[in-house]
Chains A and B, each alone.
Chain A
Amino acid sequence: MLVSIYRYNPETDTKPRMQDYQIELPQGKDMMVLDVLQLAKDQDATVAYRRSCREGVCGSDGINMNGKNGLACITPVSSVVKAGRLILRPLPGLPVIRDLVVDMSAFYKQYERIKPYLQNDDPPPAIERLQSPEDRAKLDGLYECILCACCSTSCPSFWWNPEKFVGPAGLLQAYRFLADSRDTHTEQRLAELEDPFSVFRCRGIMNCVSVCPKGLNPTKAIGHIRDMLLERGI
Protein backbone atom coordinates (compact mmCIF):
# COMPACT_ATOMS: atom_id res chain seq x y z
CA MET A 1 0.00 0.00 0.00
CA LEU A 2 1.18 3.50 -0.80
CA VAL A 3 1.32 5.71 2.29
CA SER A 4 1.86 9.40 1.73
CA ILE A 5 3.01 11.29 4.81
CA TYR A 6 3.19 15.05 5.38
CA ARG A 7 6.79 15.95 6.14
CA TYR A 8 8.01 19.23 7.53
CA ASN A 9 10.99 20.02 9.70
CA PRO A 10 11.14 23.79 10.24
CA GLU A 11 14.85 23.55 11.04
CA THR A 12 15.79 22.11 7.64
CA ASP A 13 12.80 22.52 5.27
CA THR A 14 11.64 25.76 3.67
CA LYS A 15 8.18 24.34 3.04
CA PRO A 16 6.20 21.16 3.74
CA ARG A 17 6.21 18.21 1.31
CA MET A 18 4.48 14.85 0.98
CA GLN A 19 6.73 11.77 1.13
CA ASP A 20 5.60 8.38 -0.17
CA TYR A 21 6.31 5.06 1.52
CA GLN A 22 5.52 1.62 0.16
CA ILE A 23 4.20 -0.41 3.08
CA GLU A 24 3.63 -4.18 2.88
CA LEU A 25 0.54 -5.03 4.90
CA PRO A 26 0.32 -8.53 6.40
CA GLN A 27 -2.29 -10.73 4.69
CA GLY A 28 -5.57 -11.44 6.48
CA LYS A 29 -5.06 -8.79 9.13
CA ASP A 30 -6.55 -5.30 9.32
CA MET A 31 -3.95 -3.06 10.92
CA MET A 32 -4.55 0.24 12.63
CA VAL A 33 -3.17 3.40 11.03
CA LEU A 34 -0.78 3.78 13.97
CA ASP A 35 0.75 0.39 13.07
CA VAL A 36 1.25 1.63 9.50
CA LEU A 37 2.98 4.72 10.86
CA GLN A 38 5.30 2.47 12.87
CA LEU A 39 6.11 0.49 9.71
CA ALA A 40 6.88 3.78 7.93
CA LYS A 41 9.09 4.80 10.84
CA ASP A 42 10.91 1.48 10.56
CA GLN A 43 11.81 2.53 6.99
CA ASP A 44 12.57 6.13 7.89
CA ALA A 45 13.34 6.90 11.53
CA THR A 46 12.92 10.66 10.98
CA VAL A 47 9.12 10.45 10.65
CA ALA A 48 7.67 12.25 13.71
CA TYR A 49 4.27 11.67 15.30
CA ARG A 50 2.76 11.55 18.77
CA ARG A 51 1.49 8.32 20.32
CA SER A 52 1.16 6.92 23.79
CA CYS A 53 -1.54 4.50 24.95
CA ARG A 54 -2.26 2.99 21.49
CA GLU A 55 -5.85 2.21 22.52
CA GLY A 56 -7.85 5.41 22.08
CA VAL A 57 -7.61 6.65 25.64
CA CYS A 58 -4.82 9.24 25.75
CA GLY A 59 -5.76 11.22 22.63
CA SER A 60 -2.14 11.77 21.55
CA ASP A 61 -2.27 10.45 18.00
CA GLY A 62 -5.00 12.59 16.47
CA ILE A 63 -4.12 13.03 12.78
CA ASN A 64 -5.83 13.61 9.46
CA MET A 65 -6.25 10.35 7.53
CA ASN A 66 -7.36 10.63 3.91
CA GLY A 67 -9.03 13.93 4.74
CA LYS A 68 -10.76 12.95 7.96
CA ASN A 69 -9.51 13.55 11.50
CA GLY A 70 -9.30 10.62 13.90
CA LEU A 71 -7.10 8.68 16.26
CA ALA A 72 -4.54 6.63 14.35
CA CYS A 73 -4.46 3.92 17.04
CA ILE A 74 -8.14 2.95 16.76
CA THR A 75 -8.74 3.62 13.06
CA PRO A 76 -8.50 0.46 10.93
CA VAL A 77 -6.65 1.03 7.65
CA SER A 78 -9.55 -0.58 5.76
CA SER A 79 -11.92 2.14 6.97
CA VAL A 80 -9.90 5.06 5.58
CA VAL A 81 -7.84 3.77 2.67
CA LYS A 82 -8.98 4.95 -0.77
CA ALA A 83 -7.76 3.42 -4.03
CA GLY A 84 -4.94 1.65 -2.19
CA ARG A 85 -3.55 4.92 -0.94
CA LEU A 86 -3.37 6.37 2.56
CA ILE A 87 -2.62 10.08 2.95
CA LEU A 88 -1.59 11.16 6.43
CA ARG A 89 -1.46 14.81 7.41
CA PRO A 90 -1.28 16.68 10.73
CA LEU A 91 -4.50 17.98 12.31
CA PRO A 92 -5.53 20.99 10.21
CA GLY A 93 -5.57 24.55 11.50
CA LEU A 94 -2.81 24.26 14.09
CA PRO A 95 0.86 25.20 13.55
CA VAL A 96 3.07 22.23 12.67
CA ILE A 97 6.01 21.59 14.97
CA ARG A 98 7.30 18.73 12.86
CA ASP A 99 5.69 16.24 10.44
CA LEU A 100 2.46 15.04 12.12
CA VAL A 101 3.14 16.82 15.40
CA VAL A 102 1.15 20.04 15.89
CA ASP A 103 1.35 22.84 18.43
CA MET A 104 -1.85 22.48 20.47
CA SER A 105 -1.38 25.68 22.51
CA ALA A 106 -4.36 27.47 20.90
CA PHE A 107 -6.55 24.43 21.61
CA TYR A 108 -5.47 24.17 25.26
CA LYS A 109 -5.83 27.92 25.74
CA GLN A 110 -9.51 27.72 24.81
CA TYR A 111 -9.91 24.71 27.11
CA GLU A 112 -8.32 26.68 29.95
CA ARG A 113 -10.63 29.62 29.22
CA ILE A 114 -13.80 27.73 30.09
CA LYS A 115 -12.41 26.90 33.56
CA PRO A 116 -12.68 23.10 33.31
CA TYR A 117 -13.04 22.40 37.00
CA LEU A 118 -15.82 22.47 39.60
CA GLN A 119 -16.47 25.88 41.11
CA ASN A 120 -18.62 25.91 44.23
CA ASP A 121 -18.84 28.76 46.75
CA ASP A 122 -20.72 26.75 49.37
CA PRO A 123 -18.69 25.50 52.37
CA PRO A 124 -17.23 22.08 51.55
CA PRO A 125 -19.09 19.21 53.29
CA ALA A 126 -17.26 16.87 55.66
CA ILE A 127 -16.88 14.06 53.11
CA GLU A 128 -17.84 14.96 49.55
CA ARG A 129 -20.42 16.85 47.48
CA LEU A 130 -23.14 14.34 46.74
CA GLN A 131 -25.03 14.10 43.47
CA SER A 132 -28.22 12.21 42.64
CA PRO A 133 -27.99 9.45 40.00
CA GLU A 134 -30.22 11.61 37.75
CA ASP A 135 -27.88 14.60 38.02
CA ARG A 136 -24.88 12.36 37.47
CA ALA A 137 -26.53 10.96 34.32
CA LYS A 138 -26.58 14.48 32.84
CA LEU A 139 -22.79 14.32 32.55
CA ASP A 140 -22.84 11.21 30.35
CA GLY A 141 -21.68 12.03 26.84
CA LEU A 142 -19.76 15.04 28.16
CA TYR A 143 -17.07 13.88 30.58
CA GLU A 144 -15.66 11.23 28.22
CA CYS A 145 -13.76 13.74 26.06
CA ILE A 146 -10.05 12.91 25.85
CA LEU A 147 -8.97 16.27 24.35
CA CYS A 148 -7.52 14.75 21.19
CA ALA A 149 -8.53 17.94 19.27
CA CYS A 150 -9.95 15.96 16.32
CA CYS A 151 -13.22 17.93 16.60
CA SER A 152 -11.90 21.46 17.03
CA THR A 153 -9.37 21.05 14.22
CA SER A 154 -12.09 19.85 11.83
CA CYS A 155 -14.17 22.96 12.53
CA PRO A 156 -13.80 25.86 10.04
CA SER A 157 -14.97 28.35 12.68
CA PHE A 158 -12.03 27.25 14.86
CA TRP A 159 -9.66 27.53 11.88
CA TRP A 160 -10.77 31.14 11.26
CA ASN A 161 -10.93 32.33 14.87
CA PRO A 162 -8.94 29.98 17.15
CA GLU A 163 -8.28 32.79 19.61
CA LYS A 164 -11.95 33.81 19.94
CA PHE A 165 -14.14 30.76 19.24
CA VAL A 166 -13.89 28.22 22.06
CA GLY A 167 -14.30 25.31 19.64
CA PRO A 168 -16.33 22.10 20.01
CA ALA A 169 -14.01 20.39 22.52
CA GLY A 170 -13.93 23.40 24.84
CA LEU A 171 -17.68 23.95 24.54
CA LEU A 172 -18.43 20.30 25.28
CA GLN A 173 -16.46 20.73 28.51
CA ALA A 174 -18.07 24.12 29.18
CA TYR A 175 -21.46 22.40 29.11
CA ARG A 176 -20.14 19.52 31.20
CA PHE A 177 -19.63 22.04 34.07
CA LEU A 178 -22.77 24.05 33.30
CA ALA A 179 -24.77 20.83 33.58
CA ASP A 180 -23.07 19.72 36.80
CA SER A 181 -25.43 20.07 39.79
CA ARG A 182 -22.43 20.62 42.08
CA ASP A 183 -21.16 23.69 40.20
CA THR A 184 -22.52 27.06 41.41
CA HIS A 185 -20.80 29.38 38.92
CA THR A 186 -23.36 28.96 36.13
CA GLU A 187 -23.98 32.70 35.83
CA GLN A 188 -20.28 33.60 35.59
CA ARG A 189 -19.67 30.79 33.10
CA LEU A 190 -22.55 31.94 30.86
CA ALA A 191 -21.43 35.58 31.10
CA GLU A 192 -18.06 34.51 29.69
CA LEU A 193 -19.72 32.82 26.71
CA GLU A 194 -22.39 35.32 25.61
CA ASP A 195 -20.23 37.33 23.16
CA PRO A 196 -20.64 36.89 19.37
CA PHE A 197 -17.60 34.59 19.05
CA SER A 198 -17.13 32.15 21.95
CA VAL A 199 -20.24 30.03 21.29
CA PHE A 200 -22.07 31.69 18.42
CA ARG A 201 -19.42 31.04 15.77
CA CYS A 202 -20.74 27.48 15.74
CA ARG A 203 -22.73 27.14 12.51
CA GLY A 204 -23.90 23.65 13.32
CA ILE A 205 -22.14 21.91 10.43
CA MET A 206 -21.41 18.97 12.76
CA ASN A 207 -17.92 18.13 11.48
CA CYS A 208 -17.08 17.71 15.17
CA VAL A 209 -19.72 15.01 15.60
CA SER A 210 -18.64 13.10 12.51
CA VAL A 211 -14.98 12.89 13.57
CA CYS A 212 -15.19 12.42 17.35
CA PRO A 213 -13.41 9.10 18.06
CA LYS A 214 -15.36 8.73 21.31
CA GLY A 215 -18.74 9.17 19.60
CA LEU A 216 -19.57 12.38 21.50
CA ASN A 217 -21.85 15.15 20.26
CA PRO A 218 -20.40 18.66 20.81
CA THR A 219 -23.08 20.24 18.56
CA LYS A 220 -25.79 19.03 20.94
CA ALA A 221 -23.88 20.43 23.94
CA ILE A 222 -23.47 23.76 22.12
CA GLY A 223 -27.24 23.75 21.52
CA HIS A 224 -27.81 23.30 25.27
CA ILE A 225 -25.45 26.21 26.05
CA ARG A 226 -27.33 28.35 23.53
CA ASP A 227 -30.63 27.43 25.21
CA MET A 228 -29.22 28.38 28.61
CA LEU A 229 -27.99 31.71 27.23
CA LEU A 230 -31.39 32.30 25.63
CA GLU A 231 -33.25 31.56 28.87
CA ARG A 232 -30.90 33.86 30.73
CA GLY A 233 -31.18 36.65 28.15
CA ILE A 234 -34.91 36.79 27.54
Chain B
Amino acid sequence: MLWAVATVTFFAVRLIPGDPAEAILGGPGSQTSPEALAAVRAEYGLDQPVLVQYLQQLGRLATGDLGRSYALNMDVGPLVLSQLGGTLLLAVLSLGVAWLIALLLATWSTGRGRMAARIGTGLEIVGAALPHFWLATTLIVVFSVWWGVLPPISTADARGLVLPVATLAIPLAGFLGQVMRESLNTALESPFVLSARARGESDRGVLWRHALRHAALPAISLSGWAFGSLISGAVVVETIFARPGLGRTLLNAVTVRDVPVVVGVVMVVAVAYILMTIVTDLASSLADPRPTEHGNGALS
Protein backbone atom coordinates (compact mmCIF):
# COMPACT_ATOMS: atom_id res chain seq x y z
CA MET B 1 0.00 0.00 0.00
CA LEU B 2 2.70 2.49 1.05
CA TRP B 3 4.87 1.39 -1.84
CA ALA B 4 2.04 2.08 -4.27
CA VAL B 5 1.52 5.51 -2.75
CA ALA B 6 5.23 6.31 -3.03
CA THR B 7 5.37 5.18 -6.64
CA VAL B 8 2.31 7.07 -7.78
CA THR B 9 3.45 10.22 -6.01
CA PHE B 10 6.95 10.01 -7.41
CA PHE B 11 5.76 9.89 -11.00
CA ALA B 12 2.85 12.27 -10.51
CA VAL B 13 5.18 15.00 -9.25
CA ARG B 14 7.17 14.57 -12.45
CA LEU B 15 4.12 15.69 -14.42
CA ILE B 16 4.32 19.17 -12.88
CA PRO B 17 5.95 21.43 -15.46
CA GLY B 18 9.27 23.03 -14.54
CA ASP B 19 12.76 21.93 -13.54
CA PRO B 20 13.33 20.85 -9.95
CA ALA B 21 16.90 22.13 -10.08
CA GLU B 22 15.54 25.60 -10.84
CA ALA B 23 13.15 25.23 -7.97
CA ILE B 24 16.01 24.43 -5.64
CA LEU B 25 17.85 27.55 -6.75
CA GLY B 26 15.00 29.92 -6.10
CA GLY B 27 12.11 28.80 -8.14
CA PRO B 28 11.15 29.28 -11.79
CA GLY B 29 12.06 32.65 -13.27
CA SER B 30 15.14 33.18 -11.15
CA GLN B 31 18.30 33.82 -13.13
CA THR B 32 20.60 30.88 -12.62
CA SER B 33 23.72 29.88 -14.45
CA PRO B 34 23.92 26.52 -16.23
CA GLU B 35 26.89 25.60 -14.04
CA ALA B 36 24.96 26.16 -10.87
CA LEU B 37 22.09 24.08 -12.22
CA ALA B 38 24.42 21.25 -13.12
CA ALA B 39 26.01 21.33 -9.68
CA VAL B 40 22.62 21.18 -8.00
CA ARG B 41 21.49 18.35 -10.25
CA ALA B 42 24.58 16.37 -9.31
CA GLU B 43 24.14 17.11 -5.62
CA TYR B 44 20.51 15.94 -5.53
CA GLY B 45 21.06 13.08 -7.96
CA LEU B 46 18.77 14.68 -10.53
CA ASP B 47 21.18 13.86 -13.36
CA GLN B 48 20.59 10.15 -12.86
CA PRO B 49 18.08 8.25 -15.02
CA VAL B 50 14.49 8.37 -13.71
CA LEU B 51 14.51 4.71 -12.74
CA VAL B 52 17.67 5.14 -10.64
CA GLN B 53 16.17 8.19 -8.91
CA TYR B 54 13.01 6.21 -8.25
CA LEU B 55 14.90 3.28 -6.70
CA GLN B 56 17.09 5.61 -4.65
CA GLN B 57 14.02 7.30 -3.27
CA LEU B 58 12.34 4.00 -2.45
CA GLY B 59 15.49 2.93 -0.66
CA ARG B 60 15.54 6.10 1.41
CA LEU B 61 11.86 5.80 2.24
CA ALA B 62 12.34 2.20 3.32
CA THR B 63 14.82 3.36 5.95
CA GLY B 64 12.46 6.09 7.09
CA ASP B 65 14.48 8.92 5.53
CA LEU B 66 12.13 11.34 3.81
CA GLY B 67 14.98 13.36 2.30
CA ARG B 68 15.68 17.09 2.29
CA SER B 69 13.43 19.82 1.09
CA TYR B 70 14.65 21.54 -2.08
CA ALA B 71 13.06 24.86 -1.29
CA LEU B 72 13.28 25.12 2.50
CA ASN B 73 16.66 23.44 2.84
CA MET B 74 15.69 21.37 5.84
CA ASP B 75 14.95 17.73 6.52
CA VAL B 76 11.47 16.70 5.42
CA GLY B 77 10.81 14.40 8.37
CA PRO B 78 10.84 17.02 11.15
CA LEU B 79 9.14 19.54 8.83
CA VAL B 80 6.20 17.24 8.10
CA LEU B 81 5.90 16.08 11.70
CA SER B 82 5.81 19.67 12.96
CA GLN B 83 2.84 20.33 10.66
CA LEU B 84 1.10 17.01 11.25
CA GLY B 85 -0.37 17.85 14.65
CA GLY B 86 -2.41 20.82 13.46
CA THR B 87 -3.92 18.93 10.56
CA LEU B 88 -4.70 15.83 12.60
CA LEU B 89 -6.40 17.96 15.24
CA LEU B 90 -8.47 19.63 12.55
CA ALA B 91 -9.41 16.33 10.91
CA VAL B 92 -10.26 14.47 14.11
CA LEU B 93 -12.29 17.37 15.51
CA SER B 94 -14.17 17.70 12.23
CA LEU B 95 -14.91 13.98 12.14
CA GLY B 96 -16.22 14.12 15.71
CA VAL B 97 -18.36 17.18 15.08
CA ALA B 98 -19.69 15.67 11.84
CA TRP B 99 -20.72 12.51 13.71
CA LEU B 100 -22.44 14.56 16.37
CA ILE B 101 -24.40 16.65 13.87
CA ALA B 102 -25.35 13.59 11.82
CA LEU B 103 -26.52 11.63 14.87
CA LEU B 104 -28.55 14.51 16.25
CA LEU B 105 -30.16 15.21 12.89
CA ALA B 106 -30.94 11.56 12.15
CA THR B 107 -32.39 10.78 15.58
CA TRP B 108 -34.34 14.02 15.75
CA SER B 109 -35.94 13.61 12.36
CA THR B 110 -36.89 9.90 12.34
CA GLY B 111 -40.14 8.78 13.83
CA ARG B 112 -41.34 12.36 14.08
CA GLY B 113 -43.57 12.46 11.04
CA ARG B 114 -43.07 13.19 7.41
CA MET B 115 -42.27 16.87 7.79
CA ALA B 116 -39.32 16.27 10.14
CA ALA B 117 -37.98 13.55 7.86
CA ARG B 118 -38.17 15.93 4.92
CA ILE B 119 -36.35 18.68 6.79
CA GLY B 120 -33.67 16.22 7.88
CA THR B 121 -33.18 14.82 4.40
CA GLY B 122 -33.13 18.30 2.90
CA LEU B 123 -30.49 19.56 5.32
CA GLU B 124 -28.36 16.50 4.66
CA ILE B 125 -28.52 16.84 0.89
CA VAL B 126 -27.70 20.53 1.00
CA GLY B 127 -24.91 19.95 3.51
CA ALA B 128 -23.35 17.13 1.53
CA ALA B 129 -23.38 19.25 -1.62
CA LEU B 130 -21.61 22.31 -0.15
CA PRO B 131 -18.09 22.80 -1.51
CA HIS B 132 -15.45 23.59 1.13
CA PHE B 133 -14.20 26.83 -0.45
CA TRP B 134 -17.72 28.29 -0.72
CA LEU B 135 -18.68 27.24 2.78
CA ALA B 136 -15.43 28.66 4.22
CA THR B 137 -15.91 31.99 2.49
CA THR B 138 -19.54 32.22 3.53
CA LEU B 139 -18.74 31.40 7.14
CA ILE B 140 -16.01 34.04 7.17
CA VAL B 141 -18.35 36.65 5.72
CA VAL B 142 -21.15 35.87 8.19
CA PHE B 143 -19.26 35.24 11.42
CA SER B 144 -16.19 37.44 10.98
CA VAL B 145 -17.15 40.27 8.66
CA TRP B 146 -20.81 40.84 9.58
CA TRP B 147 -21.05 39.68 13.16
CA GLY B 148 -17.38 39.80 14.06
CA VAL B 149 -17.72 37.01 16.60
CA LEU B 150 -15.03 34.69 15.27
CA PRO B 151 -11.62 35.38 13.76
CA PRO B 152 -11.37 35.04 9.96
CA ILE B 153 -7.91 33.54 10.15
CA SER B 154 -7.07 30.63 12.32
CA THR B 155 -5.52 31.64 15.61
CA ALA B 156 -3.83 29.46 18.15
CA ASP B 157 -6.74 29.44 20.60
CA ALA B 158 -9.90 27.35 20.37
CA ARG B 159 -11.92 30.17 18.81
CA GLY B 160 -9.72 30.02 15.77
CA LEU B 161 -10.62 26.38 15.23
CA VAL B 162 -14.39 26.88 15.08
CA LEU B 163 -14.73 28.05 11.49
CA PRO B 164 -12.23 25.61 9.94
CA VAL B 165 -13.83 22.69 11.79
CA ALA B 166 -17.32 23.82 10.78
CA THR B 167 -16.22 24.08 7.15
CA LEU B 168 -14.99 20.51 7.12
CA ALA B 169 -17.66 19.01 9.37
CA ILE B 170 -20.85 20.30 7.75
CA PRO B 171 -20.52 18.59 4.34
CA LEU B 172 -19.31 15.39 6.00
CA ALA B 173 -22.24 15.47 8.43
CA GLY B 174 -24.51 15.57 5.38
CA PHE B 175 -22.95 12.41 4.00
CA LEU B 176 -22.90 10.53 7.30
CA GLY B 177 -26.44 11.66 8.10
CA GLN B 178 -27.81 10.26 4.84
CA VAL B 179 -26.23 6.88 5.53
CA MET B 180 -27.37 6.86 9.18
CA ARG B 181 -30.93 7.84 8.39
CA GLU B 182 -31.31 5.04 5.91
CA SER B 183 -29.97 2.34 8.23
CA LEU B 184 -31.85 3.82 11.17
CA ASN B 185 -35.12 3.58 9.28
CA THR B 186 -34.36 0.01 8.24
CA ALA B 187 -33.54 -0.91 11.84
CA LEU B 188 -36.68 0.75 13.22
CA GLU B 189 -38.86 -1.24 10.84
CA SER B 190 -37.18 -4.57 11.55
CA PRO B 191 -38.88 -7.38 13.47
CA PHE B 192 -36.43 -7.21 16.37
CA VAL B 193 -37.60 -3.68 17.12
CA LEU B 194 -41.20 -4.92 17.16
CA SER B 195 -40.06 -7.68 19.53
CA ALA B 196 -38.40 -5.11 21.76
CA ARG B 197 -41.54 -2.95 21.82
CA ALA B 198 -43.57 -6.04 22.65
CA ARG B 199 -41.38 -6.47 25.73
CA GLY B 200 -42.34 -2.96 26.80
CA GLU B 201 -39.34 -1.06 25.49
CA SER B 202 -39.84 2.69 25.06
CA ASP B 203 -39.03 4.70 21.95
CA ARG B 204 -35.85 5.96 23.55
CA GLY B 205 -34.89 2.46 24.68
CA VAL B 206 -35.45 1.11 21.19
CA LEU B 207 -33.25 3.86 19.81
CA TRP B 208 -30.38 3.51 22.27
CA ARG B 209 -30.37 -0.23 22.78
CA HIS B 210 -31.10 -1.38 19.26
CA ALA B 211 -31.52 1.01 16.39
CA LEU B 212 -28.62 3.43 16.86
CA ARG B 213 -26.07 0.66 16.89
CA HIS B 214 -27.37 -0.64 13.58
CA ALA B 215 -27.48 2.90 12.22
CA ALA B 216 -23.87 3.56 13.23
CA LEU B 217 -22.40 0.53 11.46
CA PRO B 218 -22.26 1.85 7.90
CA ALA B 219 -21.26 5.30 9.16
CA ILE B 220 -18.32 3.77 11.02
CA SER B 221 -17.13 2.01 7.89
CA LEU B 222 -17.54 5.29 6.03
CA SER B 223 -15.39 7.14 8.56
CA GLY B 224 -12.14 5.70 7.20
CA TRP B 225 -12.92 7.16 3.83
CA ALA B 226 -14.20 10.34 5.47
CA PHE B 227 -10.88 10.83 7.23
CA GLY B 228 -9.10 10.77 3.87
CA SER B 229 -11.49 13.31 2.44
CA LEU B 230 -10.98 15.52 5.50
CA ILE B 231 -7.23 15.60 4.92
CA SER B 232 -7.74 16.63 1.31
CA GLY B 233 -10.30 19.16 2.49
CA ALA B 234 -7.64 20.47 4.86
CA VAL B 235 -5.61 21.69 1.87
CA VAL B 236 -8.41 24.11 1.00
CA VAL B 237 -9.35 25.01 4.56
CA GLU B 238 -5.80 25.61 5.77
CA THR B 239 -5.13 27.84 2.80
CA ILE B 240 -8.28 29.90 3.23
CA PHE B 241 -7.94 30.30 6.99
CA ALA B 242 -4.16 30.75 6.77
CA ARG B 243 -3.75 27.89 9.19
CA PRO B 244 -0.42 26.07 9.43
CA GLY B 245 -0.66 22.39 8.61
CA LEU B 246 0.10 19.60 6.18
CA GLY B 247 -2.40 20.86 3.63
CA ARG B 248 -0.70 24.19 3.21
CA THR B 249 2.76 22.63 3.30
CA LEU B 250 1.70 20.30 0.52
CA LEU B 251 0.22 23.08 -1.58
CA ASN B 252 3.36 25.22 -1.26
CA ALA B 253 5.60 22.27 -2.06
CA VAL B 254 3.65 21.40 -5.19
CA THR B 255 3.79 25.00 -6.38
CA VAL B 256 7.59 25.10 -6.22
CA ARG B 257 8.00 21.47 -7.25
CA ASP B 258 9.60 20.48 -3.99
CA VAL B 259 9.49 16.74 -4.65
CA PRO B 260 10.76 15.41 -1.29
CA VAL B 261 8.25 17.48 0.68
CA VAL B 262 5.37 16.39 -1.57
CA VAL B 263 6.36 12.77 -1.24
CA GLY B 264 6.91 13.18 2.48
CA VAL B 265 3.51 14.73 3.13
CA VAL B 266 1.78 12.15 0.99
CA MET B 267 3.56 9.31 2.77
CA VAL B 268 2.66 10.63 6.22
CA VAL B 269 -0.95 11.12 5.16
CA ALA B 270 -0.99 7.59 3.76
CA VAL B 271 0.28 6.21 7.07
CA ALA B 272 -2.33 8.21 8.96
CA TYR B 273 -5.00 6.97 6.58
CA ILE B 274 -3.99 3.35 7.09
CA LEU B 275 -3.98 3.78 10.86
CA MET B 276 -7.43 5.36 10.67
CA THR B 277 -8.71 2.48 8.57
CA ILE B 278 -7.44 0.05 11.18
CA VAL B 279 -9.18 2.07 13.89
CA THR B 280 -12.50 2.09 12.00
CA ASP B 281 -12.19 -1.63 11.33
CA LEU B 282 -11.65 -2.26 15.01
CA ALA B 283 -14.58 -0.01 15.86
CA SER B 284 -16.72 -1.86 13.32
CA SER B 285 -15.95 -5.25 14.79
CA LEU B 286 -16.59 -3.90 18.28
CA ALA B 287 -19.98 -2.55 17.25
CA ASP B 288 -20.79 -5.57 15.12
CA PRO B 289 -19.21 -8.69 16.60
CA ARG B 290 -20.83 -10.95 14.06
CA PRO B 291 -18.20 -12.80 12.04
CA THR B 292 -18.04 -11.58 8.48
CA GLU B 293 -17.96 -13.85 5.49
CA HIS B 294 -14.41 -12.98 4.54
CA GLY B 295 -12.87 -12.92 8.00
CA ASN B 296 -12.67 -10.01 10.37
CA GLY B 297 -10.99 -6.68 9.76
CA ALA B 298 -9.29 -7.61 6.52
CA LEU B 299 -6.98 -4.79 5.48
CA SER B 300 -5.98 -4.02 1.96
A and B from one complex: no
Measured CB to CB, the residues of B under 8 A from A are none
- Please list the residues of chain A having a beta carbon within 8 angstroms of any beta carbon in chain B: none
